[in-house]
Structure 1
């Protein structure tokens, strides 16, 4: 059973970072730079997204001595997470458009 996700502004920034390249594996520092969140904000969000089944995480297989750094934990949206993230971000945009009276601008080719 998955845990529901409350999509706050902080969570939406993390989801937007994942949606920038949904197939990319992202690690903590990379996501901190993309979102501007400190580790104390980012990692609890990632844990909630994992508990909800939106994000999966795997440890990098790496020899820390040879690489000169510890292994990274990589995060990626799951297929359900991709759908949920897109849905939630779209809903948030609609709410903001209604709240501020703005309409999406048409795309030009």
Structure 2
């Protein structure tokens, strides 16, 4: 039997950011900027969520000339169910209230 754990605040933030734009494809760089998280945090989360079936993945079609195609992500139906389950935490605080605060340039 698989043990169910609450996702880390960073994983929850990625899921919620993708849930803010249901059905739309996003790439990791946009998520990094929007959440104020580093690529070394976001990309492993995206890979793990995709492996668990919470995300659909695809390669960008027709990228601009001179740039390689980007890997795109969006919530799957299982991911949407996961986000719904995260609606409130065990302590009753909404997950959205615990999103990481984006870093500002210093």
TM-score by length of 1: 0.73
Provide the C-alpha distance between the structure 2 equivalents of 1:56 and 1:48, rounded to a whole number of angstroms: 12
Identify the structure with bigger relative contact order (alpha carbons < 8 Å, sequence gap 6+). 2
Deviation at residue 85 of structure 1 after TM alignment: 1.4
Structure with max Cα Rg: 1
Provide the residue aligned with 1:37 in structure 2.
37
Give the length in aligned residue pairs.
93
Provide the residue aligned with 1:58 in structure 2.
58
Q: Secondary structure at the match of 1:24?
A: coil
Provide the C-alpha distance between the structure 2 equivalents of 1:8 and 1:35, rounded to a whole number of angstroms: 14
For structure 1, the 5+ residue unaligned runs are: 99-109
How big is the alpha-carbon RMSD for the aligned residues of Structure 1 and Structure 2?
2.5
1:91 aligned to which of 81, 88, 92? 88
TM-score by length of 2: 0.75
| Residues 56, 77 of structure 1: 8 Å contact kept | yes
| Residues 13, 35 of structure 2: 8 Å contact kept | yes
For structure 2, the 5+ residue unaligned runs are: 95-106
Q: Secondary structure at the match of 2:91?
A: helix
